[in-house]
Each structure stands twice: as C-alpha cells, then as structure tokens.
C-alpha cells in the first residue's frame, strides 16, 4: 500500500527546507572563510590601481615633454642646417648632393 499524498507533500516540504537551510549555511561558511581573502584582494587591487594611475600620468607627462623637446630640437637642427648650407660654396653643395644621390 502506498502512503497518502499528504505524507509525500510533508516529506518533500521538509526535504526542500533542509536543502535550503544547508545551502544557506554553506554560503555563510564560504563567505566567512573567504572574506579575508576578498578584503586582501580588494586592498591589493586598489594599490595596484593607484600605482598604474601614477605610472600612466607620468608616462603621458613625459611623453608630452619628449614631443615638445623633439619639436624644438628639430626646429633648431633645421635652422642650423639651412644656415650651414648657405655658408657653403657651390662646389661643396654639389659634392654633398652627389654623395647623397650615390
């Protein structure tokens, strides 16, 4: 003979309740166990983010300074080259052009 339907419902309800309580207990245990690791991981990632931000800011700043310095060096070299070429004799200019084209 099979047990009545009400007994199945009560047994299933008790089983679902026990599974839910066990799952909640496992979640609380996991949270308490790994919480220090999560806190340490958060602190380390925050420090890493600060360091990377400082590196990025300095990289951009130094890159901008290098670009400005390149511009000024290029400008001075161009001015010097033009002045130097004007002071050369025509034969020296032709010899220089011949060397460059060879």
Name the DSSP class of 98: H
Confidence (pLDDT) at 26? 93
Least Cα distance to 65 among 76, 73, 54 occurs for 73
Mean pLDDT of 21-50: 92
Phi first, then psi: give them for residue 89, nearest 5 degrees: -75, 160
pLDDT-derived band at 87, boundaries 50, 70, 90: confident
Average pLDDT over residues 68-76: 93
Q: Which residues contact 85 (CB under 8 A, 6 or more apart)?
A: 93
Residue among 93, 71, 91, 72 nearest 82 (CA): 93
The pTM of this model reads: 0.44
pLDDT above 70: percentage of residues in the chain:
100
Q: Is the pLDDT score of 82 beyond 90?
A: no
């Amino acid at each position: 003979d099979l047990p009545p339907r009400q007994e199945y419902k009560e047994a299933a309800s008790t089983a679902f309740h026990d599974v839910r309580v066990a799952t909640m207990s496992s979640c609380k245990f996991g949270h308490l166990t790994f919480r220090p690791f999560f806190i340490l991981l958060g602190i380390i990632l925050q420090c890493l983010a600060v360091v990377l931000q400082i590196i990025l800011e300095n990289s951009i700043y130094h890159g901008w300074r290098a670009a400005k310095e390149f511009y000024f060096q290029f400008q001075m070299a161009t001015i010097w080259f033009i002045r130097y070429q004007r002071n050369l004799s025509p034969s020296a200019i032709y010899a220089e052009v011949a060397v460059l084209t060879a």
